[in-house]
Amino acid sequence: MDSVPDYYPDVSRRLSQVLDDIGVNERTVNVRRRTGLLRESMQTLSHNVLGGDIKCYHFGTQTEGTTTLGLNSDIDLLTCHNKYNVIQDWGDWKQGKLNLLMIQDDTVPPGYCRLQCLRPDIPVAEEELPDEHFEYDIERRVLLKNTFLHQGLPEGHVRHGPAATNENSNFDLVSAFLCKIWPSEAETWMFRYYAKQSHNVHLIRHSVQSGCFLVPTGHSSSQNERLEWRISTSLAERYIMFNMNVTQIRCYVLLKMIMKTFITPDFPDTISSFYCKTVLMFLVENSQYELWHEDNLLLCVTSCLRLLQNFIYADNCPHYFIPGNNLMAEKFDFRTRQQLIVALEHIMCKCGRALLGIEIDNVGDRLRDKCGFVQARCNYQTTDQTHYAIYSILYYDIVYEMIVANSDIKVTNEVDIERIFSEMKTRLSAVLQVYRCSGGIERESFLLMIPSLCTTMGSLLASYRISQGQSVSNTSLSLFSLGIDSDVATGRLKLASALFCAGDLERTVIVLRDVEERYNPRVTQPLCRCISTDLQNSTWRFPINILHIENVSSLTSYFAFGVSFTRGEVHCVPRALQYEMFRCTEEERAMRDEVDDWMDWAVADPLPYLYYLQYLTYGQLGRQRDQQRALNKLIITVSTESLLFHKETTLNLLGQCMEQEHSLMDALVCYRCSLNERPTHNVARWHIVGLLRKIYH
């Protein structure tokens, strides 16, 4: 720009305050990044325990920390299959692996490659087609088709290019290969960047060491699109975004808000956030660090818009690392380009006033208040309320990821308990070896997930011992002890359940009393993977001190997870709850979704299960008053608790108690209410049949 308007520094400072208020500040950005990295590490750990050689990555603005509540950005979840060895040089060939050689020649567009299959026994090219996923090219090389990674589309997802998307989820799922070597096409970036930003040599080193991904999609105008793979430098992009200061992050957030407010309504699917990121990275590389402070925020935004306008004018937005790859190739016709150029010029001419029109996160109203203009058009959350909402969602996501990962680990219909336990122990030992050498995020994810896994292993071993007529072993008790603090109640309830089924009633009472003392219904939040919780619409809230939480492992003290038993743990489950493992008819099982695997388990809400176990235990001990007290609490919980994820199961358990009390008509009412809650996939049908037999005979 030739001259900077006088009001730019003042408006820039006030705009920085607004962005600080809505969570675009150093602390919140770091928490967002830490959360994203923690979730991807937990998902990777889950795959490793299951025996899969897969690494998960979370890309996009959520993990970069470059989003707000109002932007509501998606997460790009990339799963990388490590059993394939993708190489650029024959010297990197590995025996026994499926080796894939990257081919980049004049027939392949910049930023793309083909993958040639090599033999696993000797370093020569494969000559025969291994299966239908391979195809010969005109030179009779055996090439892998990109449709190879399009298999296994998750339930409810549709494919958009390389990604599987679901309109009800904020995840875009992408499978890819990892090449550990930096792409040769991107080598010029190293020298270009070093010449301008030599003090950031560590960033070059980290970026180059990250290698690249090969995403299963070809160039849209290519005749051999199915044989091409796009080179993705997502890890290097993430390193660069992590290296940016808060003013650069705020500039990027504002760019996205401007596009979403002024460009997307009239020109949908034109200027993506990736264009904005590319423009920002180019501008940061080619400018002095002194430019990027809060007094210059408005100038930085305008400079980015000008560079974006120049790219559109030239019909060429070069990929940041691979300049030969034009991101805008064949994206816009001449008319659209001219209209976009005019629209951006209009925004730049009145940039300060244009920002007042941003409704996302009430940025316009907040800026209007900061500048002392007329009263804002609407009320909005205070800074503390906004930060509280952000941290609640982030920390909730960590906890929910915890139970999803542990549920995935537990999925099995096997009954060979010894084999299941042995396999889990072997995999856990292998994972332990890796994570003992790890630090930071990896170690933290390990500490979050292992307690629940230890509880499951303890329960599996205890179930086997009980099936042999033996007591719960010391090994099993040690595993239960390691998992005792997985949350407020579940680890202890599973221990109590195993002790009860083994006949150790006195110790069962002690454990249940401990659970009752810890579980405060006004503070503790039940949470279940089977049925998602909408935290924003829930009446429960994190305590206000969540804003000062530094150790995320303390989050579990606020939650009580659903108590779930796989069929391998059947002998640790009271008889009435065992029925829940067989709730589905064959027709119902055929109609189930993939996410309904829990229906082959026994799953109960923690608070009613606590009272049900107390009822059974006190009954066997002959403590009638305590037994009736537990029954009354169970009845009150069914009647008053608003957040029961498995209310039908709770009603079935209450019905079983009523049968034991010889109140058969009350039991019938419980079972009918249970069927009203869930008409199908419900063992209440079989309970009613048995109950009617009792009534009539």
- For residue 125, tell me if it sits in a domain: yes
Query: Position 404: which residue type?
Result: V
- For residue 367, tell me if it sits in a domain: no
Structural domain ending residue among the three candidates 240, 266, 295? 240
Q: How many domains does the chain have?
A: 2
Closest C-alpha to 228, from 215, 245, 209: 215
Range in 108-117, 254-263, 484-493, 523-532 with the lowest mean pLDDT: 523-532
Residue 164 confidence (pLDDT) above 70:
no
pLDDT at 97 (0 to 100): 85
Q: What confidence tens digit (pLDDT) does each residue in 281-317 have?
A: 999 999 998 899 999 999 999 999 999 999 999 999 9
Residue 553 confidence (pLDDT) above 80:
no
How sure is the predictor about 218, in pLDDT bands with cuts at 50, 70 and 90? very high
Closest C-alpha to 115, from 103, 126, 123: 103
Bridge partners of 563, per DSSP, are 604
pLDDT at 143 (0 to 100): 96
Range in 120-134, 376-390, 641-655 with the lowest mean pLDDT: 376-390
591 vs 179, residue with greater confidence: 179
d(CA 182, CA 206): 11
Residue 331 confidence (pLDDT) above 70:
yes
pLDDT, mean of residues 143-152: 84
Cα R_g (the chain), whole angstroms:
29
Domain residues for 597?
A: 574-605+629-697
pLDDT at 113 (0 to 100): 95
d(CA 397, CA 355): 31
d(CA 63, CA 43): 14
- Rounded alpha-carbon distances, angstroms, from residue 496 to 24, 471, 612, 634: 46, 13, 12, 17
pLDDT at 456 (0 to 100): 86
Give the rounded percent of residues in the chain with a pLDDT score beyond 90.
58
Most confident of 16-25, 386-395, 403-412, 638-647: 16-25
Pairing of strands 559-561, 525-527: parallel
- For residue 187, tell me if it sits in a domain: yes
Q: What confidence tens digit (pLDDT) does each residue in 423-479 have?
A: 667 766 766 666 666 667 888 888 888 888 888 889 988 998 999 999 999 989 998
Q: What confidence tens digit (pLDDT) does each residue in 42-100 have?
A: 888 888 776 777 899 999 899 999 999 999 888 889 999 888 999 999 999 999 888 99
- For residue 541, tell me if it sits in a domain: no
- For residue 586, tell me if it sits in a domain: yes
pLDDT, mean of residues 337-341: 96
Residue 657 confidence (pLDDT) above 90:
yes
How sure is the predictor about 158, in pLDDT bands with cuts at 50, 70 and 90? low
CA dihedral sign, ordered 227, 233, 238, 241: negative
> What 8-state DSSP symbol labels residue 95?
T
Q: What rounded mean pLDDT belongs to the chain?
A: 87
Residue 380 confidence (pLDDT) above 60:
yes
Distance, C-alpha 405 to centroid of its chain: 10
162 vs 193, residue with greater confidence: 193
pLDDT at 688 (0 to 100): 93
Most confident of 107-111, 368-372, 620-624: 620-624
- For residue 412, tell me if it sits in a domain: no
pLDDT, mean of residues 604-633: 97
Structural domain ending residue among the three candidates 206, 240, 274? 240
d(CA 564, CA 621): 26
> What 8-state DSSP symbol labels residue 118?
B
- For residue 593, tell me if it sits in a domain: yes
pLDDT at 1 (0 to 100): 47
- For residue 165, tell me if it sits in a domain: yes
From first CA to last CA, the distance across the chain in angstroms is 93
CB 642 within 8 A of CB 597: no
- Rounded alpha-carbon distances, angstroms, from residue 107 to 8, 225, 227, 228, 327: 49, 11, 11, 10, 18
Q: What confidence tens digit (pLDDT) does each residue in 660-681 have?
A: 999 999 999 999 999 999 999 9
Structural domain ending residue among the three candidates 185, 220, 240? 240
d(CA 640, CA 631): 14
d(CA 17, CA 370): 8
d(CA 303, CA 299): 6
